[in-house]
Each structure stands twice: as C-alpha cells, then as structure tokens.
C-alpha cells in the first residue's frame, strides 16, 4: 500500500458524521442541511434535452481531449466572460470530469520529487483535495493562512524564501471556499511575480466564479494575466459547470491555460482513463453556450443572501461574501460545539470552520467560524436562519455568541 495514504485526514463530512454520532435531534423540526456545497436549484432543461439527444454517444469510446465542439464552446465562453483573446481550443483547453478530479490529477502531473521533497502551497482554510493531491504526489503541503485582516486572501509575503525555493505548485481559490473572497489584480500581480522568481506553477480553482451578487464579475486568473500584459506561462485555471449550472452530477468542467503544461497533463490523462462521455460533452457544450439560466441562478442566490444575511447579523459576525454561495460566519465560541448543539436542538446542519482548515503558524484560521451553504430553497434558508438566531439568543452566555457590533 502507498505510505502516503496514511497521511490523508478524514474528509470534513466524515468528521461531521462522527461529531453527530449519537446526537438526538428535535423530532418536531424537519432537517435543513446547510453544510455541504451541493447546488439544489433545478437543472436546466437544455441539459437533459442534450443528454437525451446524444444517447448514441454511448456506443463509442470518447477521446481524452474531448470534442472540437466542446473545446470551442469553452474557448468562446472564456473570451466572452473575461474579455480575453479566445484560448486555442486545440492546445489551451482540456475538458475534465469536474474540477475536483482534475485538481487532484494535475498535481500528480506537475510534482517532481526525484530530488528531495517538494512543497505544494495552499490557502488555509481550503478545499481538502489540495492537501490530498500534494500528499499523494509525494509533496509536502504548506498552508498560508487567510484571515479577516488580510481580506481572507493568502498572505504570500509571509511565506519564507526557503519555502518558495522548494515550491513547485500553488493552489489558489478565487472566489474562495469557504470565505467567498475574490483575489484582486494586485493579489494576482504579487503571485505572478513570485512564480516568475521561483518557477512554480499556479493552479487557480475558479469553480464559484459565476455566483456573485453585484454587477462586478469576479476577476479570473487568465483575465488578470491579460490585464497585466502576461501570457499563461505556468498558469492554469480550473472551472466547472456544477455550481454555475446546477449540474453537480454531470461531472463536467475544464482546465485552461499554459499549453506546455496542458500537453503533459493530456499525456497523463490518456493513461489515467478519464475521458468524458460523448453525451456529457454534448450537454456541456450546450450549457457553456447559454447564459440565461446562469443569470436566473444568480438571482436565486442574491435573494437568499439578501434575506438571510441581515437575520444572522443580529446574532453573529457575518457579511455577504464577494461571491460563491457560502456565509463564513464568526462565532465567539467553539465551532464544533456550536454545530453539534445546533443540530441537536434546531435540526440544522452547518459545518465547523475548523474542519476546513489546518493548524498552521500557531493558529487554525477556521476556529470560531462556521460555514453556512445557502443551497437549499429560499424558504428553507430563511427557516434555518430563524432557528440559528433563536439558538444563538438562547445560548448567548454558554456558547459565547454575542451580537455583532
């Protein structure tokens, strides 16, 4: 067995299951789950129509590189969305089975541990795939804490030079999970400069890019590079239809950027055996070509955040994020105790922030936070928020929860 497997920690939802083991919930209240980032809005009809129309695709092996039509659709979408020159669909785009598997596989392609143990940098809190990908590629994860005082952005300037010298890959996430924070052009400029200096690859996870609340769209890494007059050297982005189009079960996304890196990634994937079904490719192309359903989806999230955030602000420190569908709420108490008692008394599930982070540099930046995923229908989100408010007021002394100033 691979010794690296012993380094993997339980997934946050495994920890949550263990936390709730033996907990007796309030039988008078229906369960409302706001812990998992799984979209619950209706899947667009154009997806099911495209799947049905392309059942004949099941009779052939799909190509690892995907169809010309899908890669062209993705290229055109990137050009429209980010006001950039359309990436070359033949060399700068690879369709993937969701961003999760691609993020993991990409690290296996990039990391070279033939001379010592390399480092993979990750924001903290973070999406746990980053850590697992680093370990199983034979690298050492290094966490860069994301705190409120730094706009929940990684403080790249705090990373010592000796760490940068061993770094081969940096995972970024903007809009961030769980904070919803969006990297600015200046943030990207700093990271690009460090990449030029030390030679590491940047893997930008942008799966929440289409869920935002104002008129300003979140800045993407390719867009930032374009604005700074750069090419895509050592830069790739990962995107997905799961959140944008409410199709988590479709398992469809893409990787785009540095053509040289993608050529090696394609070679890896050819052996990895992870080509996307032709019928899924056809449905994906149809969805990337349509923005009407995306605008409708954003409006549903806008309504939920506009309604729920003020309710929760009466009992905890929480603000509407830049983007994504999470509230990253600060409580002045123990986040695991909060989540456990809330589940027992109000039958509402939230995720303790400490489960999404690691202790690094003397602190776990998730401690004292909870992640609330506003994925349920509006009425359920409102009901859950009202229960959380009731719970906080009841336990303001014992849990240390205080009203926000």
**Position 198 in a domain:** yes
Element (H, E) at 268: helix 259-272
User: How are strands ordered across the β-sheet holding 93-96?
Assistant: 93-96, 253-257, 235-240, 201-205, 167-173, 119-124, 140-145
Dihedral sign from CA coordinates of 301, 280, 134, 187 = negative
Q: Quick check: 209 and 254 in contact, CB under 8 A? A: no
Q: Where does 157-210 have alpha helices with state H?
A: 161-166, 185-198
Buried b / exposed e over 51-85, threshold 16 CB at 10 Å, is beebeebeeeebebbbbeebbbbbbbbbeebbebe
Across the range 294-315, mean pLDDT stands at 97
Give the per-residue pLDDT at 360.
95
**Residue 311 DSSP SS3:** helix
Could you tell me which of 157, 149, 155 has the C-alpha nearest to residue 172? 155
What's the pLDDT at 398? 65
**Same domain? 192 vs 62:** yes
Secondary-structure percent of the chain, ordered helix, strand, coil, rounded to 5: 45, 15, 40
The reply to whether 335 and 233 lie within a common domain is no
Q: What CATH number corresponds to the domain at position 154?
A: 3.40.640.10
Same-domain status, 182 and 303: no
- For residues 238-251, average pLDDT: 95
The crossing angle, in degrees rounded to 10, of helices 45-53 and 278-288 is: 140
Indicate whether 123 and 225 sit together in one domain: yes
Ramachandran bin of 116, using left for φ above 0, alpha for ψ from -120 to 50, beta for the remaining angles: left
**Is position 117 within any domain?**
yes
For residue 359, give the DSSP letter.
-
Query: What are the tokens at 309?
Result: 């955030």
Domain that holds residue 229: 45-290
CA distances for 59 relative to 32, 54, 55, 56, 294, angstroms: 41, 10, 8, 6, 31
Can the peptide bond before residue 178 be classed as cis, meaning omega within 30 degrees of 0?
A: yes
Q: Is pLDDT at 213 greater than 50 in this prediction?
A: yes
pLDDT bucket at 403, cuts 50 / 70 / 90:
very low
Instruction: Specify the number of domains making up the chain.
Output: 2
| One domain for residues 98 and 233 | yes
Is 61 in the same domain as 12? no
Provide the 8-state DSSP code for 57.
G
Q: pLDDT digits over 59-97, tens only? A: 888 999 999 999 999 999 999 999 999 999 999 999 999
Mean pLDDT throughout 384-398? 91
Please check the confidence at residue 402 and state whether its pLDDT lies above 60. Answer: no
| Confidence band, pLDDT 50/70/90 cuts, at residue 353 | very high
Per-residue pLDDT band for 2 (boundaries 50, 70, 90) equals confident
**Cα 189 to chain center, whole Å?**
21
Q: Residue 405: pLDDT above 80?
A: no
* 172 plus 252 within the same structural domain: yes
**Domain of residue 297, CATH code:** 3.90.1150.10
Shared domain check, 234 and 163: yes
């Amino acid at each position: 067995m691979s010794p690296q497997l012993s380094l993997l920690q339980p997934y946050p939802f495994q920890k949550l299951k263990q936390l709730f083991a033996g907990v007796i919930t309030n039988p008078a209240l229906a369960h409302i789950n706001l812990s998992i980032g799984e979209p619950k809005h209706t899947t667009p009809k154009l997806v099911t129509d495209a799947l049905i129309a392309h059942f004949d695709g099941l009779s052939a092996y799909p190509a690892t590189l995907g169809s010309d039509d899908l890669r062209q659709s993705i290229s055109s979408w990137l050009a429209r969305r980010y006001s950039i020159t359309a990436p070359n669909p033949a060399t700068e785009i690879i369709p993937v089975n969701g961003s999760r598997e691609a993020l993991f596989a990409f690290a296996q392609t990039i990391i070279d541990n033939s001379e010592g143990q390399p480092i993979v940098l990750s924001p903290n809190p973070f999406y746990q795939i980053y850590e697992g990908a680093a370990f199983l590629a034979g690298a050492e994860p290094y966490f860069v804490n994301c705190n409120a005082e730094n706009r929940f952005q990684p403080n790249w300037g705090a990373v010592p030079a000796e760490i940068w010298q061993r770094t081969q890959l940096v995972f970024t996430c903007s809009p961030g999970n769980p904070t919803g924070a969006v990297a600015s052009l200046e943030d990207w400029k700093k990271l690009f400069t460090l990449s030029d200096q030390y030679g590491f690859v940047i893997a930008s996870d942008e799966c929440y890019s289409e869920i935002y609340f104002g008129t300003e769209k979140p800045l993407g890494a390719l867009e930032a590079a374009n604005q700074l007059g750069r090419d895509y050297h050592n830069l790739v982005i990962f995107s997905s239809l799961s959140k944008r189009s409410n199709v988590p079960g479709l398992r469809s996304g893409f990787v785009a950027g540095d053509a040289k890196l993608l050529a090696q990634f394609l070679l890896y994937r050819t052996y990895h055996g992870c080509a996307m079904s032709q019928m899924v490719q056809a449905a994906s192309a149809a969805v990337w070509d349509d923005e009407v359903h995306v605008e409708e989806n954003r409006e549903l999230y806008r309504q939920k955040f506009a309604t729920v955030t003020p309710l929760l602000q009466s009992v905890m420190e929480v603000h509407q994020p830049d983007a994504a569908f999470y509230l990253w709420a600060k409580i002045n108490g123990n986040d695991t105790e909060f989540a456990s008692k809330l589940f027992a008394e109000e039958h509402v599930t939230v995720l303790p922030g400490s489960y999404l982070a690691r202790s690094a540099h003397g602190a776990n930046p998730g401690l004292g936070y909870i992640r609330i995923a506003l994925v349920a229908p509006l009425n359920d989100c409102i009901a859950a928020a009202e229960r959380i408010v009731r719970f906080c007021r009841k336990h303001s002394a014992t849990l240390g929860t205080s009203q926000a100033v």
